[in-house]
Chains A and B, each alone.
Chain A
Amino acid sequence: MTTFAELRPVETRFRLDPEIMAGPIYRKYEKATRKIWDAKQLDYEPDRADWERMTDGQRQGIATITVRFEAGEQEVTDELLPMLAAAHALGRFDWVMFLSTFMLEEARHSEFFTLWHARVPELHSPEDKAHYWPLRDHTVDPSGRFTVGEPVYEGLPKYGKKLTAAVESGDEAAIEGAFVQFATLYCTWVEGVLTMPSYEIVIDTTELWNVLPTLRQGFKNILGDEGRHITFGTQATRILIEKNTAYEALAHDVIDEYRGNAVGMLEYQRNVPGLDLEKYQSQKARHYLNRCREMGVTPDQSLVDQILDPEIDFVVGVEAG
């Protein structure tokens, strides 16, 4: 009879070795553990005082974004598990370690927005927050060329299920392909392109109005965390695409599915006087080109041209997650 020790030799029970610890993903894990911050330690009183003196229009403009961030961060915290399961299935322990910090950080971001909403605008219930969530029926491209999807609320569960099914199948190529799609959707497209201008808009707006220093600090802290998440996703994707170049097409397919979300202009840009509108469209193009460079894939020039085309004129809601 085969003993358990024969089935699972002791040497296979150790996963962390000097080679892994010298690698780029482990170093991201190390950095994440050094950069821990606590949303409860921030001082919300200055923001509370600013909120009292802000106009209704200013409050509405800020809350329109922050409620989306709160929900988006919570959705992501809840939908990341398939990535962790896939990293385990692929035997990449350094990815498992990093993804454990990734999930913790998304949970922390969720907590930050919940605390900020409770202590500053006093939005406590889902109904309080939903009041500030703009409807999508005014975000249709009038030319009909582009559709605006829901990459966070529809895309992540969909591609998460696909990744989970691949993990359960045990087919390594299926897991890798599904991982490329999930990481491209979330790390590259949502975090690395669509959400980036929203951070800058909030930071620029609160600087322009000289208000809400704690919200600004929270956004900066979150951005620091997101930088690791984005570059983990692009690096992991690059590793898999270098192994099998057919995966590059899978990455482009996911981006193409939610192309309209980048081509349209963020509705928030239109609502805040004094913002440089072209700046945020140029940023999206820059971020897209940078993510392609990090993933080692060829950018779709037509997408860049469409993002920058002033003739394409429709707005999309803030992406946050």
Chain B
Amino acid sequence: MARRWQCLEVGCGEVVTAGSDDELVEAANAHVHEAHGSYELEEMILAVAEDVPEGQKA
């Protein structure tokens, strides 16, 4: 099942989806680095990652 994480940087709200937790951590951190010059800890990304329900666009 695909996994989803949303960036809470003020004024952002980017939603990142990926096929696994490992890919999600990488994709989320790529976003935080490129968009905000920062990074998010793996634990914190996984703590709030959500499953994308079947049938919903990943």
A and B from one assembly? Answer: yes
Residues in chain A within 8 A of chain B (CB atoms): 28, 200, 223-224, 226-228, 230-231, 234-235, 276, 279, 282-283, 285-286, 289-290, 293-294, 304, 308
B40 cross-chain contacts in A, Cβ below 8 A: 290
Given A200-B38, A227-B42, A279-B37: A286 and B10 within 8 A (CB)? yes
Contact at A227–B38, with CB atoms within 8 Å?
no
Contact at A227–B36, with CB atoms within 8 Å?
no
B47 cross-chain contacts in A, Cβ below 8 A: 231, 234-235, 294
Contact at B8–A231, with CB atoms within 8 Å?
no
Contact at A294–B10, with CB atoms within 8 Å?
no
A288: nearest residue on chain B (CB-CB)?
B8
A235 cross-chain contacts in B, Cβ below 8 A: 47
B9 located at the interface, meaning its Cβ lies under 8 Å from any Cβ of chain A in the complex? yes
- How far, in angstroms, from A18 to B41 measured CA to CA in the complex? 28
Nearest chain A CB to B57's CB is how many angstroms away? Answer: 22
- Starting from the known contacts A230-B43, A282-B9, A308-B10, 7 additional A-B residue pairs (CB-CB under 8 Å) come to A28-B43, A223-B41, A224-B41, A227-B41, A276-B37, A282-B36, A286-B9
Contact at B38–A294, with CB atoms within 8 Å?
no
A304: nearest residue on chain B (CB-CB)?
B10
Interface CB pairs A-B, < 8 A, 27: A200-B39, A224-B41, A227-B41, A227-B42, A227-B43, A230-B41, A230-B43, A231-B46, A231-B47, A235-B47, A276-B37, A279-B37, A279-B38, A285-B9, A285-B10, A286-B10, A286-B36, A289-B8, A289-B10, A290-B40, A290-B44, A290-B48, A293-B8, A293-B48, A294-B48, A304-B10, A308-B10
Total count of chain B residues near the partner, CB < 8 A: 16
Given A200-B38, A279-B36, A283-B38: A231 and B10 within 8 A (CB)? no
- How far, in angstroms, from A284 to B25 measured CA to CA in the complex? 20
A290 cross-chain contacts in B, Cβ below 8 A: 8, 40, 44, 48
Name B18-47 residues within 8 Å CB distance of A: 36-44, 46-47
- How far, in angstroms, from A200 to B33 measured CA to CA in the complex? 12
- How far, in angstroms, from A304 to B42 measured CA to CA in the complex? 24
A286 cross-chain contacts in B, Cβ below 8 A: 7-10, 36, 38
A223 cross-chain contacts in B, Cβ below 8 A: 41
Nearest chain A CB to B56's CB is how many angstroms away? Answer: 20
B42: nearest residue on chain A (CB-CB)?
A227
A294 cross-chain contacts in B, Cβ below 8 A: 44, 47-48
B11: nearest residue on chain A (CB-CB)?
A282
B46 cross-chain contacts in A, Cβ below 8 A: 231
Given A276-B37, A283-B38: A227 and B44 within 8 A (CB)? yes
Nearest chain B CB to A30's CB is how many angstroms away? Answer: 13
Contact at A282–B10, with CB atoms within 8 Å?
yes
A279: nearest residue on chain B (CB-CB)?
B37
Nearest chain A CB to B42's CB is how many angstroms away? Answer: 6
